[in-house]
Amino acid sequence: MKYICRILTLLAATTIFLMAMAGNAQAGLLFNYSQLSLKDLDQMSKLIQVKINESRKAGGDQVIPLKEALQAVFSRSNEDFMIEKIVSPLRNELDEHDAWNSTLDSLTTEALGALKNTKAFKPVVQVTYLIFLENLISEVKPRGNEKFERGLLERIAKAKVKVTKEAETERRLRVMKNTTSPSEVAENVLKKIDEETKAQAEAEAKAKKK
């Protein structure tokens, strides 16, 4: 009986410890959005090159460092259009491993999982994942009719992500910007794509009749 009680006590203590750790966790993030916002073009480019070098020297999964770098790139607010300037070398490396799509898919799963379990993460982490999804939507939007890109948009839309008050306050205080649910953004993008596709089909049909 004493042995069982000790086990139960140990399990309870472990659970409390893990919950405490989760509350302070930054998940799998190298940096949160606030830290990334302080990095300029040279610093972000250096971060990417360091991770590319780490990948090339890795004895195990070479995609992991590239995945970490891509997450950092997309987790930084893109008001200065930084992503377009720095992402190409990273994409080239991932393409060599045939891992661009799988990496985006994996990072989307991570972001949605965190935002559906917000109690485990501080507001700064929640905002980081929200920004990641915002940038991801912008990245795939031009190819939203293609199977993979549309699949990502549909996953984000169906997740019905809700922005917590804490995350809303965090972002407004730091960058004076309100936050719309990425699920709503993705849903609107899909609607626009469908409307444009329908309009194009109708125009082509009319042209054929002439």
Query: Could you tell me the CA-to-CA distances from 70 to 4, 106, 137 in Å, in that order?
Result: 47, 11, 14
The domain of 135 spans: 26-209
Q: Taking 60 as the threshold, does the pLDDT of residue 156 lie above it? A: yes
Instruction: Please say whether the beta carbons of 66 and 93 come within 8 A.
Output: yes
Residue 89 inside a domain? The answer is yes
Model's pTM, two decimal places? 0.84
Q: What does the alpha-carbon distance between residue 86 and residue 30 come to, in Å, rounded to a whole number?
A: 17
Has residue 11 been placed in a domain?
Answer: no
Is 14 inside a domain boundary?
A: no
Look at residue 155 and tell me if it is in a domain. Answer: yes
pLDDT, tens digit, 9 for 90 and up, residues 26-85? 447 999 999 999 999 999 999 999 999 999 999 889 999 999 999 999 999 999 999 999
Taking the C-alpha atoms of residue 197 and residue 186, their distance in angstroms, rounded to an integer, is 16
Examine residue 1 and state whether it is found in any structural domain, yes or no: no
Q: What is the number of domains present in the chain?
A: 1
